[in-house]
Amino acid sequence: MFETFKILDHQGKQFIPVLDNAKTPSVFRGRAEISDAPCPEGCTACVDLCPTDAIQLNPLRLDHGFCVNCNECAASCPADKFKFTNDHKFATNVRERLIVYEGKSTPIRIDQSQIRKEIQSVFGRSFKLRQVSAAGDNSTEMELNAGDNVNFDMSRYGIEWVASPRHADAIVISGPISQNMAEALEIAYQATPDPKVVILAGVDAISGGIFAGSPALDRSFLDRHKVDLYIPGNPIHPLTLVLGLLELTGRLKRND
Amino acid sequence: MNTAIIKNNTCIPVANIPVMEYEVFAEVVTHLLADKNNHCVAYYGYRLDAENLKFICAIAKDNRGDIVMLSYELDTTQTTRIDSICPGSLTLQMYEREIAENFGIEFFGHPWAKPVRYAWNRADKDKVLQNYPFYRIDGNQLHEVGVGPIHAGVIEPGHFRFLCHGEEVLHLEIQLGYQHRGVENLYLTKKSLLQRTVLSESIAGDTVSGHALAFCGVTESLAGFEPDEQLSLLRGLSLELERIAVHVGDLSAFCTDVAYQLGAAVFGALRTPMINYGQLWCGNRFNKGLIRPGYNPWAYTIELRDKLNSVLDDFEMKYREMADEMFSLDTVQSRYEKTGDVTREQMEMIGAVGMAARITGIPRDIRASHPFGSYKTLKYIPELQQGGDVWARGMLRHDEILSSIKYVRDLLDKLDLSSEVVRAVQPRVHKLEFKPNMFSISLTEGWRGEICHSAITDENGEIIHYKVKDPSFHNWLALALAVRNQEISDFPICNKSYDLSYCGFDL
């Protein structure tokens, strides 16, 4: 018993009191910014190097739906135009908002006007999530779990993982969605009672990531069902997840 | 005996690998594998043309650090049916099943000829997940329990089919393939070095360093690039930190599954500083982006070294007091001891690797037997357990956490923070020229166990075949054996104590 108290004392308070104030170190690779410094004549280094075609020209832009945050564009651009900032608050409900444009450094936010009305009225105080890993590589899955560990502790807000889709309000998908998981994913979705929410966690889920174009995938689920929240990252950061969920359910309102 | 012998992280012209008649090949392989110091690390086929297949086999001699290379060719217009080598050595059973699934070869006499992962380019598309031939026992006192592919927790998908007599599991069959993403094929269609590196980091996202290092081993030897000692030390640091982080996170799950709340919370919390250190070093909690072939992309500074020393000091104190408490609790001991036990003979028979082998006293550890990178200069002595049960799996993780901490400290002493590699001021490498017509192999020891990557190049130095083997390729069978004659309620703790990879197996 004495040992237990000693351990508790050494552990102290582990939870982050106000998640919105938590900071990631400056080297953390979160939301990208592209400066308006002029490109060298004819240079396409960033586009050529990008492993997932996340960077496009005219205008120069980077799509976090494709970006695996490898940092190669930032490290290799001769004009030093790219920077991965430590801003981890970049979950959004509008797919186009994941695209970062040259010369604009506005944060990526949830568009409150585009959230379905029932999400905040029904799930505002209790939000149960059924996770489906559809060929996820287990890094995003571990970070999803971390969302409810003693540090991030999302269950304090009534946001919890549940074992059955029948108990769930939302399906949280990770991974690029393999052919072999397509049927199970659809069944889990159908088993979730209405109203229900679809959340994509991680770049693999949003676009296929490095697996995009593989003939072993079947992403037709996303043609049939609307996505309510995109959580970018490779893997996602637990703060991106929890803050995104709080914003989606109306618990966290931002003015910027 | 006409064979070729190479070392880990080297390559050999494909033409120098002896091509044998299949009967001779089978005899030589059986003879080699009869020695318990040898084990097969790669055995796979690839297409020479529409009709002809070539099969490459690599057998590691663990007490000499050698890898014996053999091969045979098969004209599929002549036959697609050959004798299985499994009756001589069961360790080859997964390799033969994989070849059968990919190329439609029938191995006569294979004891368990079943699908592996339902690859998109498999030979027989009539074999689908829905018609997997589960082992059955008929009888009105037995029942079956099906679990998955989607499990109760936030984990990867796979299907478990239990055959039970009351609470007792008579047989567990594990059906995988749900995670198949076509990884090996993507190595051929995504041609840039960076794409392939990112792909390697995503084979199993919990083993980023392990797989990225194996990819470096294969590509650097193909390019004739010899990583210098400082670069190897940094990579070793990443690999051992990954091991500590996963082991301590898994010990949290060990506690969850026996309802020991304090341990679950504290070990879970202790994982955070370890992975946050990766975030401080390279901006990613899983060290994605840290290991790149040919150079070091992230500077390692005095501040980072001092920070690691203080993180480790604090971690070790808190870890030791929690582990001492947990492993001495009789309620925990009684749940772990003799639960889900396997024997050394079983593990030798199925060719288990990594932790699954070391919990039964088999000293199988690539860091010691086929040293790579930092383990060449800084020796590592494998930790071993004997019991083969959940307790042994917990204690092995405990011992490995402590020995990895010691290894990391020794490693920090050898780091030269003024060297160009460590300061990351060398030019970035975006392309490597590969030698033509080569076979290259790399073995690393990730936290689960032995990882094997190998590649074959054509006359232009283009990769024409890439093969990945995660330790889970062999070790899922160890889990199935562990739960035999156990209570079905002990399955979660058995499963979590192994913590095998679904995506690493399914590729």
Q: How many CB atoms lie within 10 A of CB B312?
A: 21
Q: Which residues, in sequence order, are bridge partners of residue A173?
A: A132, A200
Quote the CA–CA distance of B477 and B177 in Å, as a whole number: 15
> What integer pLDDT is reported at residue A256 of this predicted model?
58
Complex prediction ipTM: 0.94
> What integer pLDDT is reported at residue A253 of this predicted model?
82
Pairing of strands B142-147, B106-108: unpaired
**pLDDT by residue (tens digit) across A16-73?**
999 899 999 889 999 999 999 999 999 999 999 999 999 999 899 999 999 999 999 9
Residue A109's nearest CA partner among A82, A134, A122, A90 is A90
Report yes or no: B42 and B70 within 8 Å, Cβ to Cβ: no
Q: Can you give the three-state secondary structure of B329-347, one letter per residue?
A: CHHHHHHHCCCCCCCHHHH
3-state secondary structure of A249: coil
Centroid of chain to Cα A87: 12
The torsion angles phi and psi of B315, rounded to 5 degrees, stand at: -60, -50
How far is the alpha carbon of A163 from chain B, nearest alpha carbon, in Å? 4
- The enclosing H or E element of B40 equals strand B38-47
Q: Which residues of chain A have pLDDT under 50?
A: none
> What integer pLDDT is reported at residue B140 of this predicted model?
87
How far is the alpha carbon of A70 from chain B, nearest alpha carbon, in Å? 5
Long-range contacts of B381-388 (CB under 8 A, 24+ apart): B382/B358, B383/B358, B384/B358, B385/B358, B385/B359, B385/B360, B385/B361, B386/B359, B386/B360, B386/B361, B387/B337, B387/B338, B387/B341, B387/B359, B387/B360, B388/B341, B388/B342, B388/B343, B388/B344, B388/B347, B388/B359, B388/B360
How far is the alpha carbon of B150 from chain A, nearest alpha carbon, in Å? 7
Digitized pLDDT (tens) for each residue of chain B, 507 residues in all: 567 999 999 999 999 999 999 999 999 999 999 999 999 999 999 999 989 999 999 999 999 999 999 999 999 888 889 999 999 899 999 999 999 999 999 999 999 999 999 999 999 999 999 999 999 988 889 999 999 899 988 999 999 999 999 999 999 999 999 999 999 999 999 999 999 999 999 999 999 999 999 999 999 999 999 999 999 999 999 999 999 999 999 999 999 999 999 999 999 999 999 999 999 999 999 999 999 999 999 999 999 999 999 999 999 999 999 999 999 999 999 999 999 999 999 999 999 999 999 999 999 999 999 999 999 999 999 999 999 999 999 999 999 999 999 999 999 999 999 999 999 999 999 999 999 999 999 999 999 999 999 999 999 999 999 999 999 999 999 999 999 999 999 999 999 999 999 999 999
Question: Which chain B residues are within 8 Å of A66, Cβ to Cβ?
Answer: none
Q: What is the DSSP letter of A167?
A: G
Q: Can you give the three-state secondary structure of A6-75, one letter per residue?
A: HHHHHHCCCCCCCHHHCCCCCCCCCCEEECCCCCCCCCCHHHHHCCCCCEECCCCEEECCCCCCCCHHHH
Shortest CA distance from B119: residue in chain A: A216
- Nearest-by-Cβ selection for B283 from A29, A133, A141: A29
3-state secondary structure of B210: helix
Helix, strand, coil content of chain A in percent (nearest 5): 35, 15, 50
Quote the CA–CA distance of A162 and A175 in Å, as a whole number: 19
Query: How would you class B492 by CB atoms within 10 Å of its CB: exposed for 0-12, middle for 13-18, buried for 19 or more?
Result: middle
Shortest CA distance from A175: residue in chain B: B179
A contact test, residue of B118, B122, B132, B154 with most A CBs within 10 A: B154
Angle (CA) B463-B467-B472 rounded to 5° is 160
- Nearest-by-Cβ selection for A150 from B194, B269, B289: B269
> What integer pLDDT is reported at residue B297 of this predicted model?
95
> What integer pLDDT is reported at residue A255 of this predicted model?
65
- Nearest-by-Cβ selection for B182 from A142, A151, A214: A214
Report yes or no: B270 and B322 within 8 Å, Cβ to Cβ: yes
- Nearest-by-Cβ selection for A184 from B149, B153, B269: B149
Pairing of strands B4-6, B10-13: unpaired
pTM of the model: 0.95
> What integer pLDDT is reported at residue B1 of this predicted model?
56
A contact test, residue of B101, B125, B150 with most A CBs within 10 A: B150
Alpha helices for A83-228 (secondary structure H): 117-123, 139-146, 179-191, 203-207, 221-224
B contact test, residue of A139, A145, A160 with most B CBs within 10 A: A139
Shortest CA distance from A71: residue in chain B: B289
Question: Which chain B residues are within 8 Å of A72, Cβ to Cβ?
Answer: 194, 428
- Nearest-by-Cβ selection for A144 from B120, B154, B203: B154
Amino acid code (one letter) for B269: A
